[in-house]
Structure 1
């Protein structure tokens, strides 16, 4: 996924079954009130957010407003591979085996630049 976004937009990738059942919410924040620049991962079950995990390792960004990542589900863990090889791991808390919902918020430079494989039923690009 090569992804560009505006500086002040709410930007994230969500993977799960639907908007109330998210196995992974991946949210880069450049001006977070608590940590400044941080990558936030979370999950949601029955509409309730889980505990946020924060990663201050932001060197994978190509510029402050673009990001190239590889998202993988490897059983009980999601892996987010940054261009520099750093891998962020986030647990598959709800043990989803199949992702049927993908939502990407932020400006994609070209929607054809990303590839999603393996049993995705629909994609929302906002």
Structure 2
């Protein structure tokens, strides 16, 4: 995937529909008070929950990058391009992810295992 030039962040949403994201992954280059932060959150019934912020920011504007999301029953295991991993809790149970949304991002390859 590659980040689209001229934007201050990009996002990947994984869930069941536009009102319910188990994970909203949003690296922010310069977005309000968030500079070079990864912000993760969940959206349930169109209501945002508590943000989780990560300080490791391995992304470069305009470059091609890879992020791996492993969906487990209790959390997402997220592998960043730097090799660092962190987890984000699954806050509500849906069974299977059936919805993907991308913001300010060009998808080059998607692998589902």
Superposition TM-score tier, normalisation by shorter sequence = 0.7 to 0.9
SS in 2 for 1:23: strand
Unpaired runs of 5+ residues, structure 2, are none
Aligned counterparts of 1:14 and 1:106: Cα–Cα separation in 2: 12
> TM-score, normalization: structure 2?
0.87
In the TM superposition, residue 10 of structure 1 has moved relative to its aligned partner by 4.8
Aligned counterparts of 2:105 and 2:75: Cα–Cα separation in 1: 27
SS in 1 for 2:50: coil
The answer as to whether partners of 2:9 and 2:29 remain within 8 angstroms in 1 is no
- Tell me the equivalent position of 1:114: 109
> TM-score, normalization: structure 1?
0.79
Aligned counterparts of 2:19 and 2:5: Cα–Cα separation in 1: 26
Root-mean-square deviation (CA, aligned residues, Å) is 1.8
Aligned pair 1:15/2:14, yes or no?
yes
Superposed, 1:28-39 pairs within 5 Å as 28-39=27-38
- Tell me the equivalent position of 1:49: 48
Q: In the comparison of the two structures, how many residue pairs are matched?
A: 112
Unpaired runs of 5+ residues, structure 1, are 119-126
SS in 1 for 2:7: coil
In the TM superposition, residue 11 of structure 1 has moved relative to its aligned partner by 1.7
SS in 1 for 2:42: strand
